[in-house]
Structures are given as structure tokens and as C-alpha cells.
Amino acid sequence: MIYLKTPEEMAIIQANGEILGKCHAEVAKAIQPGVTTLALDKIAYEFIKDNGAHPSFLNYQVGNKKYAYSLCISVNDVVVHGLPGELVLQEGDIISIDAGVYKNKFHADSAYTYGIGNVAAEVQKLMQVTKESLYLGLNQAQAGKRVGDVGNAVQVYTESLGYGVVRELVGHGVGKSLHESPEVPNYGRRGDGAKLKEGMVIAIEPMINLGKRQISVDKDGWTIRTIDRKASAHFEHTVGVTAAGPKALTTFAYIEEVLKTSTVLLNI
């Protein structure tokens, strides 16, 4: 069932999106060669708790598995759901940070991919195209259109440039639960799928591979990689469908301020 949000509920989600955006920025400040992914997770946990919120991912239950971290940190060929740990970041890595914030009974969810230092040109282009595809999809999140319009916008643009669009992982509704209906694939045909209505809140999150679209799952049961071990990029916004058009309820503004002055991270 799809739950429509009131303007007041959307405002709560957007307020959580502000906390989340600032959390991303705090994590971004710490990304550099020599840092472990677990250290980044601790920064996020403390920031979210200090703002009176709860990390949406922490203790998230999937079947008989419970997620033990505040962030999903996916490096290089990891598409999503990378587990924070003792992995040490290196020059040339790309790193996707996916996070959620829960406060006042609602979630906000967003992701951003960072490049550390001298990233290969083809991987920089992948990051840029993936971010651009997010906004192409977001612009389709209009009342009266359908989920397929969102996915089609992402798919047509990225596949036209030779990239692989992951099929097994999709965007989703967001609200009192982190994952609600409808599913929002990054592929599809215009006019297909659930109709978008004013009050819907969805996470649009292109996961785009440099090579083949197929994926594999590590033995830990969480970490998802590209099957050919080529790089993958991931960007995500929580988006409200409003009478005035699509509205990003999460923000990259705080991240982008960090990137403007960073001597370590690429400003894509």
C-alpha cells in the first residue's frame, strides 16, 4: 500500500533531510587516504545521535539478519550495502556513503559518491553521469506520471553512454518505514508502473556500473559488487511529489560546500 504524506509530514521528512545532509558533510570532511570505513561510521552515528535522531540503518532487519552500522559504505566495485570495517581508504578510491535519519516518526534517506584524489578519468565520468541521472529521474517525479517515467529517464541517459544499470536493486517509498511502496527501479518504460500522486515520497537512487549491470553478493550476505569488479557509483535523494512539482527533501548543499574547499575529494 502506498501512503500519501501531508504537507506537515513532508516538512518533517525535509527537516530530517537537513540533519542527514549535515551528517554527510561531517563524514565527507573525514574522508582521506589512511582512514578506515569504520571510523567514518562512528562519525555518522555520533552526529545523528547528537541531533536527537536515530540512524535509520542501525539494527535494520532483513529476514534473520540485522544491520549493525549507521552507514552503508561502498568502495570501488561495491555497488551498495558495504559494511564499515577495517578497510583503509586509498588514493584513487571512490566511496559511496548511504545513510538514513529517523526522527519524529519519519525517515529520510540519501547517498553520495566521493572520489579520493587522483581518480581514473573514466570513473570520474561515471560519477558525473550517475549524479546527472539522479536529477533526470527526479524531474520526472510529477503527479500524474508513473514510476516507469522516472526509471526510463535514468536508464535511457546512462545506457546511451554505455553504462550498466543495476536491475536487482531499486529505489522505494520513504516515510514512517524506511522502505515503503512503491518500488522505484532505475529502468523501465514510460507510462508503466504505479501512478505518482501528490503526497507520495520516494527515494530515487541510481546505481550505475562502469561495466556490466550484473552483480554478486559477498559471503557476508550484505555486500553487493559488480560481477566484473569494475567501479559502481550511487547517488540518492528522498523526493516529495507536490502540487508544485518534484521536491528534493534531502540536500547535497552541505556536501558541496565541503567539496569546494577540499584538497582531497573531487568536486563532481
Kindly state whether residue 54 falls inside one of the protein's structural domains.
yes
- CATH, residue 61: 3.90.230.10
Q: What is the mean pLDDT of the chain?
A: 98
- The b-or-e profile of 169-206 (16+ CB within 10 A means b, else e) is bbbbbbbeebbbebebbbbbeeeebbebeebbbbbbbb
What is the domain extent for residue 112?
7-261
Kindly state whether residue 267 falls inside one of the protein's structural domains.
no
What pLDDT is stored for residue 75 in this prediction?
A: 99
Q: 71 has which bridge partners?
A: 99
List all residues 6 or more positions away from 67 whose beta carbon is below 8 Å from its beta carbon.
57, 58, 59, 60, 61, 222
- How many domains does the structure of the chain reveal? 1
Kindly state whether residue 162 falls inside one of the protein's structural domains.
yes
Instruction: Encode pLDDT of 10-41 as tens digits.
Output: 999 999 999 999 999 999 999 999 999 999 99
Q: Please, what sign has the CA dihedral across residues 204, 207, 210, 214? A: negative
Kindly state whether residue 123 falls inside one of the protein's structural domains.
yes
Mean pLDDT confidence for 182-189: 98
Kindly state whether residue 2 falls inside one of the protein's structural domains.
no
pTM of the model: 0.98
In whole angstroms, give the CA distance from residue 201 to residue 198: 9
Mean pLDDT confidence for 218-247: 98
Res. 242 pLDDT band, cuts 50 70 90: very high
Kindly state whether residue 126 falls inside one of the protein's structural domains.
yes
Instruction: Encode pLDDT of 123-176 as tens digits.
Output: 999 999 999 999 999 999 999 999 999 999 999 999 999 999 999 999 999 999
Mean pLDDT confidence for 231-237: 99
What pLDDT is stored for residue 105 in this prediction?
A: 99
Instruction: Encode pLDDT of 63-117 as tens digits.
Output: 999 999 999 999 999 999 999 999 999 999 999 999 999 999 999 999 999 999 9
Kindly state whether residue 169 falls inside one of the protein's structural domains.
yes
Kindly state whether residue 219 falls inside one of the protein's structural domains.
yes
Cell numbers linked to 8: 506537515
